[in-house]
Amino acid sequence: VRTIGLNRIDTRSFKINIRNNKSSEINIVLYDQLPVSQNKDIEVEATELSGASVNKISGEIKWDTVIPAGSTREFILSYTVKYPKNKKVILE
């Protein structure tokens, strides 16, 4: 948590590892979600998405990828939430 002027900034990061134990490559579509604010004073910004596509309205994140046989792939999702320091925001 950082406080800058009248605002607070919280950062959240998640790492997703997927391993292909099969003897052939697999096609995988992985979905996740960014928080979406309905309050104009609360701003959510994606900082790292590991090449995912984002739906700005719903916050849906989509990775569409191929994982070779015996390989592991890492996906990172990071975002910051900027909000007035006098407001209480639950980010969990």
Q: What residues contact residue 58 under an 8 Å CB cut-off, 6+ apart?
A: 36
Q: What is the pLDDT of residue 1?
A: 65
pLDDT (tens digit per residue) in 63-81: 999 999 999 999 999 999 9
Is-contact 91 9, C-beta < 8 A? no
Amino acid (one-letter) located at 25? E
Determine which helix (DSSP H) or strand (DSSP E) holds 71, and give its type and residue range: none
Cα separation, 56 vs 16, in Å, equals: 21
pTM: predicted TM-score of the whole model, two decimal places: 0.84
Q: What is the pLDDT of residue 9?
A: 92
Return the DSSP state at 89: -
End-to-end CA distance of the chain: 14
pLDDT (tens digit per residue) in 1-40: 666 678 999 999 999 999 999 999 999 999 999 999 989 9
Q: What is the pLDDT of residue 6?
A: 85
